[in-house]
Amino acid sequence: DAKTTQPPSMDCAEGRAANLPCNHSTISGNEYVYWYRQIHSQGPQYIIHGLKNNETNEMASLIITEDRKSSTLILPHATLRDTAVYYCIVRVQGGNKLVFGAGTILRVKS
């Protein structure tokens, strides 16, 4: 599976959009981009995933560039409870492993 690069940390004001970038320049055609988050001392929580089209669900939006070498997770109205480590993972669909990198620590501040 391709490797991902994320900034180690980001701050966001409460109520504003949080935009979390992820680089995956070696992604191959059959690999999907997955986002999970982990709130302190809890198990990871699935957020969203996509292949090449932008995706939106009740939690977030995922914007994937046309060349698929990077993506952005958008939390439209961040709250204090969104403070967590966010992991961007690239995985072949049908592949059974999730390889977690270092992730981005998002701090939402009031």
Partner 1 sequence: GAVVSQHPSWVICKSGTSVKIECRSLDFQATTMFWYRQFPKQSLMLMATSNEGSKATYEQGVEKDKFLINHASLTLSTLTVTSAHPEDSSFYICSASPSGSWDYEQYFGPGTRLTVT
Give the residue with the Cβ less far from partner 1, 68 or 103: 103
Compute the distance between CA of residue 12 and CA of residue 100 in angstroms, rounded to an integer. 23
Give the residue with the Cβ less far from partner 1, 14 or 38: 38
To the nearest whole angstrom, how small is the minimum distance from the Cβ of residue 102 to partner 1? 6
To the nearest whole angstrom, how small is the minimum distance from the Cβ of residue 1 to partner 1? 12
Give the residue with the Cβ less far from partner 1, 42 or 110: 42
To the nearest whole angstrom, how small is the minimum distance from the Cβ of residue 40 to partner 1? 11
Order of strands across the sheet with 55-56?
Answer: 18-23, 70-75, 61-64, 55-56
Compute the distance between CA of residue 33 and CA of residue 22 in angstroms, rounded to an integer. 9
Q: Of the candidates 103, 77, 110, 79, which has an alpha carbon nearest to the alpha carbon of residue 10?
A: 103
What are the residues binding partner 1 (CB under 8 A)?
38, 41-46, 87, 93-103
